[in-house]
Amino acid sequence: MVNCCDLVSEKNEPVPLKSISVELQVRDHVASVSSCLQYVNEEERPLEAVFVFPLPADAAVCHFSARIGEQEIVAEVQDKQSARDQYDDAVSSGQQAFLLEESEESSDVFKLSVGCLSPGQKASITIVYIIELSVQADDALRFCLPAVLNPRYTPAVSAAGVPEVSSASVIPYTLSLSVEVRSSDRISKLESSCPLDPLEFLDAQHTHATVNLTAGHRFDKDVELFLYYENSHQPSAVVEAGASAAPSGSLMGDPALMISLYPEFPADVMSSLASRGEFIFVVDRSGSMDCKMHHGNDAQMRIESARDTLLLLLKSLPMGCYFNIYGFGSHFESFFPQSVVYSEDTMEEALKRVKSMSADMGGTEILQPLKHIYSQPCYPDHPRQLFIFTDGEVWNTKEVLDLVKRHVYSHRCFSFGIGEGASTALITGMAREGSGHAQFITGTDRMQPKVMQSLRFALQPAVDNISVDWTVPEGVKVDMLSSSINTLFQGQRALIYAQIKGQSSGKKEGAVTVKYKLKDQPVTNQLQFTLQPTEDTGLTIHRLAARSVIRSLELEERAEGADAENVRKRIVELSVQAGVSSAHTAFIGINKDHNQTVKGPLLQRRVPVAHMLQMSMMQCQPMGMCAMALQMDFDSTMHYSMASSNSMIESDDESDQTEAEPLKDPVLQLVSLQKATGCWELNASLAAVFGKTEDEVTNQKTAQVDGSVWATVLALIWLYAFKSDQQVEWQFVAMKAASWVRSQKPDSLSQCVCDGNALLGCQVTEDMLGI
């Protein structure tokens, strides 16, 4: 195999993309991302470069331009089919053309076509998009620059319609990234999954800072940034002036308002956990789950980590709730025909099946198991909570999201993207439409703490009865652009967009009052805002608001009984007016000054993109005449039938089921021994976790103390004394254990704790144990 660092493909053909430079500008909770892609045609014939690449699912692409020599061509947003036709016509006539379009199936995949580059010619492509930054469990704002594009699993597609995929050892282009942060709040810190230069503050208040990605980064994995503000829960209202060239009364012409609402949950609410619910765990068992979690030597296989996580979840559930576990791939199966009551017997039966779970179910088809789950009746007074684990991407993302949204009032959906390249459209979309929370497990992240954080969110009370009231002068009106928000859960933030219409000759300020209830306690926040904003923010808020409206219209378009054609026209109209991408529009730019006859066939080069197992999306093949260069289905560049080749990641071949290896993590060993009620039994296996023999543990027990009480107290002491750094993982296990000890009302409990400390060589108090 040819070394890709030499800028050639596996077939010894030059790769036209040489470098990507990114400028990230963060303003409070939103970011503007400008990416510059440098192309060079080093071949002897005219070239078309095709780059299928990922973007964050909720990104609003708002600028696309190309510079060739001294000439800059700025693309326009047009109806997608019209833009495709213009591109084909331009390329076939020898003109240079540039086309950027969003996948019709998934909003996190874009295709960039750079047409008719002459031999030796250079082109610089600039793409700008804006995005809301997602909130993490620790209150950080997360930005992800995705590098990885996993193949889309498409069932029952013939191999003839599937382009080849060849592997590359290294992605042959580099990435540079500069970050500028401005905030009304003080910046605490900025962290990353990749090496960064030191953070530099540009003011004494620490509200303005810059940082750069360390030079030489190979863009072979996602770049994640985590931004921390000091007062992240402070609500805010920002008004942005409209575009002077846009007509008054239009979304882009009037001022736009963005409200940030991120409620802080008091300690007493955080400790108040529900004891009822129906918990359904849906686990990806496709072939790619047999990959490692990361590239380190000590990395677990993804399916192994999923098994360990299910063990923790099963041991953490409250007695009397309902639960079930689904595995899915090309088909699906469930542990029980319907959810069952959580008890010692059902828990043990589920654990036996978890131990034998393998990545042996072929491709990634999540729609059918979800349909089956939603067809099952809910249990009264037991809210349904879905936990979905997947490392893949599906070809019918929008159909999956529509299904989740239709059932939002009967369940919540928590989603977990495993490994580099898990679809942001799928993972964040399911959580958003299902009023849940999304987590991504990348790099050396461990799955268990993130999943247990989400379980806590699922068990905590929510903010509800949310209302938004406006106080504005006469002659001014505020129209909500965002969909109404009914509930907010711990760890969720809402950004609310509105359009300010009309003018007032007098008062220049308005106010918004946000009211909600938290555990039946009313909370009121009032925010002031100006009606005459002066700061130039580049229409970021307007475009995010337009993107929000477009997404709502796209959902409406796909709903049953909708006037699809009329809704589609509204989407195209707003997309063109706001200059942001949609499923029905594309950016098109044509250099009409460049017009030369193409001699010989136009080559097509597919630029490699990192994805699972370091496979690259590279297909290099001569094409026919210029007019044929794009006569292919856009979806076929993204969808891969995993049954079409033995070299594909997800294979339908059945793999032998092997017995799960013994648990290596001492915490998991201890948790695996706990009973569903929360207690432990006194035996040799438990003693081994403590590094003791059964006789050593038994002989230290006070005579009047029951063996199970003694064993449970020892387990709690050991967890708090030696594994406090993993408390987020065993918190529910410990709560169940403490509750069980209290229910036994044992005599000499203080002496029992004292003896336990002596045996294990530590000093833990009864109060610390919660007993």
Q: Which residue intervals of 434-520 are DSSP H helices?
A: 447-459
Domain that holds residue 83: 7-153+170-229+577-592
Interatomic CA distance for residues 762 and 287, integer angstroms: 45
Instruction: Give the angle subtended at the CA of 182 by the CAs of 501 and 37, to the nearest 5°.
Output: 95
Estimate to the nearest angstrom the gap between the alpha carbon of 178 and the chain centroid. Answer: 22
**Residue 314 placed within a domain:** yes
- Residue 555 is classified by DSSP as H
CB 342 within 8 A of CB 319: yes
Token pair of 335 as six digits: 């542990």
**Residue 661 placed within a domain:** no
Q: What is the CATH number of the domain that holds 408?
A: 3.40.50.410
**Which residues pair with residue 98 across a beta bridge?**
114, 589
Could you tell me if 306 and 248 lie in one domain? no
Which residue has 């059964």 as its token pair?
A: 694
Count of beta carbons in the 10 Å neighbourhood of residue 702:
14
Instruction: State the pLDDT at residue 623.
Output: 28
**Residue 624 placed within a domain:** no
Q: Which residue intervals of 501-539 are DSSP H helices?
A: none
Sign of the CA dihedral with 420 first, then 423, 425, and 427 last: negative
Instruction: Give the angle subtended at the CA of 724 by the CAs of 452 and 189, to the nearest 5°.
Output: 75
- Phi/psi-derived region of residue 691, left when phi > 0, alpha when psi is between -120 and 50, beta in every other case: left
**Mean pLDDT per segment of 10 residues, for the chain of length 771 residues?**
30 62 90 88 77 79 86 92 92 87 81 81 87 85 72 39 33 79 91 89 93 79 87 84 87 90 74 81 92 81 92 92 95 95 95 93 90 92 91 81 86 88 85 86 84 86 82 91 76 85 84 84 86 75 93 83 89 94 92 55 47 31 27 32 31 40 78 94 94 92 88 95 92 92 87 92 88 80
Sign of the CA dihedral with 403 first, then 406, 407, and 408 last: positive
- Select from 422, 441, 459 the last residue of a domain: 459
Interatomic CA distance for residues 319 and 618, integer angstroms: 52
**Residue 147 placed within a domain:** yes
Q: Which residues contact 276 (CB under 8 A, 6 or more apart)?
A: 318, 320, 321, 381, 382, 383
Could you tell me if 409 and 514 lie in one domain? no
Residue burial 310-336, b: 16+ Cβ < 10 Å; e: rest:
bbbbbbbbbbebbbbbbbbbbebebbe
β 174-182/208-212 pair status: antiparallel
Could you tell me if 15 and 60 lie in one domain? yes
Interatomic CA distance for residues 474 and 605, integer angstroms: 60
**Residue 718 placed within a domain:** yes
Instruction: State the pLDDT at residue 485.
Output: 74
**Residue 252 placed within a domain:** yes
Task: Find, among 42, 82, 50, the residue nearest to 630 by Cα.
Answer: 50
Residue ranges of E strands in 103-243: 109-117, 122-132, 134-135, 141-145, 152-153, 166-167, 174-182, 187-192, 200-201, 208-212, 223-229, 236-240
Interatomic CA distance for residues 331 and 231, integer angstroms: 47
Instruction: Give the angle subtended at the CA of 476 by the CAs of 471 and 479, to the nearest 5°.
Output: 80
Interatomic CA distance for residues 680 and 59, integer angstroms: 49
CB 462 within 8 A of CB 430: no
Could you tell me if 214 and 310 lie in one domain? no
Token pair of 208 as six digits: 């303005």
Instruction: Give the angle subtended at the CA of 680 by the CAs of 676 and 681, to the nearest 5°.
Output: 120
Task: Find, among 732, 731, 676, 638, the residue nearest to 151 by Cα.
Answer: 638
Q: What is the CATH number of the domain that holds 497?
A: 2.60.40
Could you tell me if 334 and 429 lie in one domain? yes
Interatomic CA distance for residues 16 and 405, integer angstroms: 41
> What Rg value do the Cα atoms of the chain yield, rounded?
28
**Residue 680 placed within a domain:** yes
Could you tell me if 116 and 34 lie in one domain? yes
CA atoms within 13 A on the CB side of 253: 10
Interatomic CA distance for residues 356 and 358, integer angstroms: 6
Could you tell me if 262 and 296 lie in one domain? no
Interatomic CA distance for residues 573 and 580, integer angstroms: 11
Q: What is the three-class DSSP state of 699? A: helix
463, 468, 469, 472 alpha-carbon torsion, rounded to 10°: 140
Could you tell me if 222 and 116 lie in one domain? yes
CB 480 within 8 A of CB 496: yes
**Residue 650 placed within a domain:** no
Q: Which residues contact 496 (CB under 8 A, 6 or more apart)?
A: 258, 259, 261, 468, 480, 482, 485
Could you tell me if 103 and 242 lie in one domain? no
- Name residue 337's amino acid: P
CB 16 within 8 A of CB 620: no
Interatomic CA distance for residues 366 and 385, integer angstroms: 16
Interatomic CA distance for residues 676 and 739, integer angstroms: 12
Could you tell me if 585 and 733 lie in one domain? no
678-to-574, 724, 733, 738 alpha-carbon distances in Å? 56, 19, 7, 8
Q: What is the chain's length? A: 771
CB 471 within 8 A of CB 519: no
Could you tell me if 549 and 698 lie in one domain? no
Interatomic CA distance for residues 132 and 29, integer angstroms: 6
Q: Which residues contact 88 (CB under 8 A, 6 or more apart)?
A: 627, 629, 630, 631
Interatomic CA distance for residues 367 and 394, integer angstroms: 9
**Which residues pair with residue 26 across a beta bridge?**
31, 181
Count of domains forming the chain:
4
- Select from 439, 459, 479 the last residue of a domain: 459
292, with CB counted inside 10 A (0-12, 13-18, 19+), is middle
- Select from 414, 441, 459 the last residue of a domain: 459
Could you tell me if 216 and 342 lie in one domain? no
Task: Find, among 57, 49, 20, 203, the residue nearest to 111 by Cα.
Answer: 49
